[in-house]
């Protein structure tokens, strides 16, 4: 028998969200998309930053979708004021797919915004874009869950993450589970080869979960060879995670660094620019046919897969327009597969925060070739989807908090076991 759709009445304490946009039509679309999800309650809307600031006095809001260009007070002016008034609110910027707005969105991340959604340019395209709707809902839900988790971290026994809907109402979306799972589950258990799993206490978990509850995670032995290349895959929360990850390096790596971050065109170029500014290392979008160089960061350009190939006496970037994988282009899996073919057991791969399971199949190919895979842990990930997928598949040598992961990666690249 077909199950009826999940309604907000079936979910206790949905995440409380505000939408801020000067266009009444866009504001309506965004609010409807969010409110259609059982885990979200759009408690109010505002048409500019001034109204948004007033709303914080009247509503307990956990996440805000904030437009950039608005009259009276725009998003960039409102951003620090909103955070000053409510430091724990999670602000997701909404901007059209222009290079100018990509630059502004990345600057907003440095000022305290947690994420962005690349908004289609017209009301008609917003209404027609299934991908935009899905990205908006999942990002808002993930960040709102993180806000609530932070708020309740001192009172774990009284956490109030939204309870799951009744059985049978879950759905699969882009490879990750968005419903029909308990809000609280045992933490994954990390087991070294040949050792028994220790007992672990249950902990609160956001509504978006990457895999089976209470999954046992077995760590594997990695390659003993010094890495010749570093490859990183990331998605939701990735831009901030990348900055914090590289901040742990005391010097430029002596190997090339390839990054696939799920982002549209324009945004990846700005990400590469900001990574270069924050690290002081050469950094750019990968160009088809260019030879990879030690100490250089190459970011997969939005809309194209980035791989490596051997040719003319060097390892070179190869960009393709092959179909999306895991609903993504660029995707991590093609990059990992090509690295397995070219570098074998001298690849060091790192999987950071992100929704879905992109990178898991490619990581399997890497480990078969003798390469090493490490992942960000659940506690420091915005969404433990991508890192959780490689972890629960038993493909990782280490699963570490973000800061420790950066330190450990730097040491591995220096030949420290």
Task: Quickly tell me which residue has 């420290």 as its tokens.
Answer: 416
Among candidate residues 296, 358, 377, 381, the one labeled active-site is: 358
What are the φ/ψ torsions at residue 173 (nearest 5 degrees)? Answer: -140, 115
The angle, 0 to 180 degrees and rounded to 10, between the axes of the packed helices 238-246 and 267-279 is: 20
Task: For residue 332, give Cα distances in angstroms to 258, 300, 315, 361.
Answer: 10, 9, 18, 9
Q: Of 20, 19, 39, which is closest to residue 31 (Cα–Cα)?
A: 19
Question: Is-catalytic flag, 31?
Answer: no
User: How far is Cα 10 from Cα 209, in angstroms, rounded to an integer?
Assistant: 19
- CB 322 within 8 Å of CB 334: yes
Query: Strand pairing of 372-376 and 347-351?
Result: parallel
3-state secondary structure 31-100: HHHHHCCCCEEEEEEECCHHHHHHHHCCCCCCEEEEECCCCCCCHHHHHHHHHHHCCCCEEEEEEECCHH
Helices (DSSP H) in 217-330: which residue ranges?
238-246, 267-279
Among candidate residues 235, 283, 338, 381, the one labeled active-site is: 235
Longest Cα–Cα distance of the chain, Å, equals: 65
- CB 39 within 8 Å of CB 62: no
Question: Is-catalytic flag, 358?
Answer: yes
Question: Is-catalytic flag, 278?
Answer: no
Residue 225's CB is within 10 A of a number of other CB atoms, namely 15
Among candidate residues 262, 274, 296, 305, the one labeled active-site is: 262
User: How far is Cα 318 from Cα 310, in angstroms, rounded to an integer?
Assistant: 10
**Active-site residue list:** 235, 262, 358
């Amino acid at each position: 028998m077909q199950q009826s759709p999940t309604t907000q009445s079936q979910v206790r304490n949905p995440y409380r969200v505000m939408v801020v946009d000067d266009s009444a039509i866009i504001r309506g679309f965004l609010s409807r998309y969010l409110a259609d999800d059982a885990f979200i309650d759009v408690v109010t809307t505002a048409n500019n930053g001034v109204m948004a600031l007033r709303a914080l006095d009247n509503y307990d809001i956990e996440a805000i979708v904030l437009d950039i260009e608005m009259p009276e007070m725009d998003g960039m002016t409102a951003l620090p004021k909103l955070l000053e008034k409510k430091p724990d609110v999670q602000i997701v910027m909404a901007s059209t797919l222009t290079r100018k707005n990509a630059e502004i969105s990345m600057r907003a991340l440095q000022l305290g915004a947690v994420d962005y959604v690349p908004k289609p340019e017209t009301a008609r395209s917003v209404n027609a874009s299934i991908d935009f709707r899905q990205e908006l809902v999942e990002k808002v839900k993930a960040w709102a869950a993180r806000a609530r988790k932070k708020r309740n971290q001192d009172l774990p026994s009284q956490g109030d993450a939204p309870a799951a809907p009744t059985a049978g109402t879950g759905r699969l979306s882009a490879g990750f589970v968005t419903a029909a799972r308990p809000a609280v589950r045992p933490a994954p258990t990390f087991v070294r080869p040949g050792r028994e799993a220790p007992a672990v206490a249950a902990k609160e978990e956001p509504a978006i979960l990457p895999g089976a509850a209470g999954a046992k995670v077995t760590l594997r032995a990695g390659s003993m060879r010094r890495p010749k290349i570093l490859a990183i895959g990331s998605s939701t929360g990735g831009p901030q995670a990348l900055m914090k990850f590289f901040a742990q390096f005391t010097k430029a790596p002596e190997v090339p660094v390839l990054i696939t971050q799920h982002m549209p065109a324009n945004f990846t170029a700005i990400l590469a620019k900001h990574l270069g500014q924050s690290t002081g290392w050469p950094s750019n979008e990968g160009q088809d046919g260019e030879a990879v160089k030690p100490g250089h960061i190459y970011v997969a350009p939005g809309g194209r897969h980035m791989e490596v190939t051997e040719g003319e006496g060097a390892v070179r970037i190869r960009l393709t327009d092959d179909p999306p994988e895991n609903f993504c282009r660029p995707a991590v899996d093609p990059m990992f597969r090509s690295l397995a073919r070219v570098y074998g057991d001298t690849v060091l791969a790192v999987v950071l925060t992100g929704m879905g399971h992109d990178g898991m199949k490619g990581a399997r190919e890497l480990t078969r070739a003798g390469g090493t895979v490490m992942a960000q842990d659940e506690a420091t990930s915005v969404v433990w989807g991508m890192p959780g997928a490689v972890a629960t598949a038993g493909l990782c040598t280490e699963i570490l908090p973000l800061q420790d992961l950066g330190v450990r990666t730097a040491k591995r690249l220096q030949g420290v076991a």
